[in-house]
Amino acid sequence: MAITKSRELSSLLGKPGEVQIDKSGTGLHSPKYHLSGVDLRLPPADTLSMLLASPSTSASTTPLLSPDVPTLLLFECVLVYMTPEASAQLVQWFVDYFSSTDSNTNRRPRVLGGIVYEMFGLNDPFGRVMVDNLKTRNVSLPGAEPYPTVQSLPKRFLQHGFRTSHALSLRELRASHLGTTELERISKLEMLDEVEELELVLEHYAITWGAWIDGTGETKADWAGWGLNQAVEAQPVDSDASE
């Protein structure tokens, strides 16, 4: 409703009258954008199959999710709130969907990427305090149990046949992938006195990414090195230095 009431947002989605809201009020569909509300804890074969494989309107015959279009799965603090069985079933459903047989031998390579941002390693003293605090608000984190260390996080994707997967804690990202200039900019937004406490928190959050590829050797090689670049600070120019 907020999107449809905004002239700026509505104008980006299509012509007047092309934006439709689900009767439940939890979904929105347009020629350029689809927003669907789904309980991901339920079997994806019962929820996503019909939703993503079928066109949203009778005027369209193109599925909302095409295996032939490179697709990124972005999970931001989602899977950690699900049971490991439910999250595994969800990721596997996407892999199976993109692995569907196709008689067209000239089709483009299929690429499915995944990025997960969530908590992990909650079996140490700090993690147990976090879990206990959430329990007082009736919140549980069953999805964190299989991932006690940052080294265990790539298993999230590798166990489903992803060709490559890596993970970094936010503490490592802050230390190695943010330059001094960016850290200084962030520090001006909010003063931080307890850096050690911040790093303790960041050590329990991570970003995990992986790529599933069904295509030529060239395509597989391109995605094999998918990752993050370390920050490189710009060096001051010495006007007196020779070429």
Any idea of the CA torsion for 104, 105, 107, 113, to the nearest 10 degrees? 110
Q: Can you tell me the distance from the alpha carbon of 197 to that of 171, in angstroms, rounded to the nearest whole number?
A: 11
Per-residue pLDDT, 106? 65
Query: Across 120-240, where does the E strand assignment appear?
Result: 164-169, 205-214
Beta bridge partners of 104: none
Per-residue pLDDT, 190? 76
Q: Is 85 annotated as a binding residue?
A: no
Cα Rg, the chain, nearest whole Å: 22
Q: Is 190 annotated as a binding residue?
A: no
The amino acid at 128: R
Q: Is 76 annotated as a binding residue?
A: yes
pTM above 0.95, yes or no: no
Q: Can you tell me the distance from the alpha carbon of 66 to that of 55, in angstroms, rounded to the nearest whole number?
A: 11
Per-residue pLDDT, 242? 39
> Of all helices (H) and strands (E), which one includes residue 23?
none
Per-residue pLDDT, 27? 84
Q: Can you tell me the distance from the alpha carbon of 129 to that of 96, in angstroms, rounded to the nearest whole number?
A: 38
Q: What is the mean pLDDT of each run of 10 residues along the chain (243 residues)?
A: 83 82 82 87 88 60 82 96 96 92 68 95 93 94 95 96 94 89 84 82 95 75 74 48 39
Per-residue pLDDT, 61? 64
Q: Are strands 28-29 and 20-21 parallel, antiparallel or unpaired?
A: antiparallel
Q: Does residue 169 contact residue 205 with C-beta atoms inside 8 Å?
A: yes
- For the chain, the structural domain boundaries read 16-63, 66-224
Q: Does residue 210 contact residue 112 with C-beta atoms inside 8 Å?
A: no
Per-residue pLDDT, 198? 87
Question: DSSP class of residue 62?
Answer: S
Q: Which CATH number fits domain 66-224: 3.40.50.1820, 3.40.50.150, 3.40.50.2300, 3.40.630.10?
A: 3.40.50.150
